[in-house]
Amino acid sequence: MTDYLKSNFIVEEKIRIQEIPAIIFRPIEVKGPIPTVVFYHGWSSNKEFQRLRGFILSSVGYQVVIPDAIYHGERNRLNDYGWDMAKQYFWDVIFRNLEEFNFVTTNMMEESINWLGRYL
């Protein structure tokens, strides 16, 4: 991870939730359950490109998990994200993110997480 975005108050860690690579940010001093956001990046992006957003949310007290979507980042990245590839893969990516959300939330340490939006 790059050195230009560091803080003595935020922990940034690359993790794997089974086969899903992700980055997690959390305030360093927090004990017990912490409000947690799962942040999905957009089409053609990846978890590293969203570090600033994760850092900002964490700086105001949230734990942030940013997974790589299928066909992005470390997960079989496409060579091109233009219109033709979007027509072929876009909805697969969206629906896969929706399917993986439950997997991500149930495979993290429940005792340290207070999921935002879980019951919405």
Task: In whole angstroms, give the CA distance from residue 32 to residue 66.
Answer: 21
Which residue ranges form the domains of the chain, and what is each CATH number?
10-115 (3.40.50.1820)
The reported pTM is: 0.83
Contacts of 56-60 spanning 24+ positions with Cβ under 8 A: 57/25, 58/10, 58/25, 58/26, 58/27, 59/7, 59/9, 59/10, 59/27
Give me the pLDDT at residue 103, please. 83
Digit-by-digit pLDDT tens for the chain (120 residues) are 556 677 778 999 999 988 999 999 999 888 777 888 999 999 999 999 999 999 999 999 999 999 999 999 999 999 999 999 999 999 999 999 999 998 888 777 554 455 554 433
